[in-house]
Amino acid sequence: MDTVRDSFPFDPFLTSLEVEKGAAKNTCLAYRRDLIHFARFWQETNGHALTVAIAATIRPTHLRAYLGRCLREKLAKTTMQRRIAAIRAWFVYLQRHGLMENNVAKLIATPKTGIRLPRAPSEEETIRLIETPAPGEAEHQIDQPWIAARDAAVMELLYGSGLRISELCGLDHGRLSLQAQEVRVIGKGNKERIVPLSHVSSKTLDYYLEHLAKIIGSPKPESPLFIGQKWPEQQRRLNPRQIQRLVQHRRRWLGLPEKITPHAMRHAFATHLLQAGADLRSIQEMLGHTSLSTTQRYTHLDRVGLARIYDAAHPRAHKTG
């Protein structure tokens, strides 16, 4: 019997995190796993299950011992940071509801991480990936042209608008405006942002919608924009795994590096915009980053490129003496 799950004390907190705070589903799932890990550690080292009442008695020494366990397990520093963050957030919830006097997790220093640079494919690699279907996709162009049109639109949006794969799969017809050349995206924390569409993306989407209409007729605003290929037998959205396979097939067919994933295309979107002289604030808004510091990671990717932009654009770049 798993006593950690049987006496799970985290459900009210996790419900509050999702419903009241609007945390993303993946964040809630990660916090759940992290708190289960901590509860199992507590039970193993103390001989009894972790409860809300016992949580109120936890001291910094207990949390340092937990960090020591994480170090011995050779966990990544980012994982350790997230686990302590999950405990801190749970303690804040308990404190707010009068179930804990002091949040001792605030006293614990987590391991510092260096700048983790996103891996962005080059412009040439990205264009090849977008414009070159794998052999299996050619069959769709003949038998099911709407699928070929859908895949082309997906690839354009991943790079042309820098969408997260979950954001792309969650798009509805009512959130797309080809006339305004923009799409309203629901990102992390259920926050909405408006992302522009390139001319090529708009044309590719228009072509897809023409073919899609032959399959589903006139869609409702709340209908999924991208649907699975078994429609209408299985009326489901296109899911992230299908997009990952699409990119994987093209990447392997072209002999491109394994680092080129759907998320890497989002990095390419940001990096290539920066290299072309776009300002960080605009990129931040399009990516849906809450903090500018997250977007600033891209400035470390191409120092030479940024220097070139400066030399070409700044009025005092060529002043001497």
What residues are annotated to the active site? 164, 188, 263, 266, 289, 298
Note the helical H segments in the chain: 3-6, 11-19, 25-46, 52-55, 60-72, 77-96, 123-131, 135-143, 145-160, 165-169, 199-216, 240-254, 262-275, 280-287, 292-295, 303-313
- Angstrom CA distances, 160 to 39, 127, 149, 167, 313, stand at 43, 11, 16, 14, 25
Nearest CA to 248 out of 265, 233, 236 is that of 265
Total residue length of the chain: 321
- CA distance linking residue 166 with residue 131, whole number of Å: 22
User: Is the CB of residue 116 less than 8 Å from the CB of residue 297?
Assistant: yes
Rounded to a whole number of angstroms, the distance between the first and last alpha carbons of the chain is 78
Give the type of residue at 184: R
Residue type, position 53, single letter = A
3-state DSSP call for residue 237? strand
Q: Sheet containing 176-177: which strands, arranged edge to edge?
A: 176-177, 182-186, 192-196
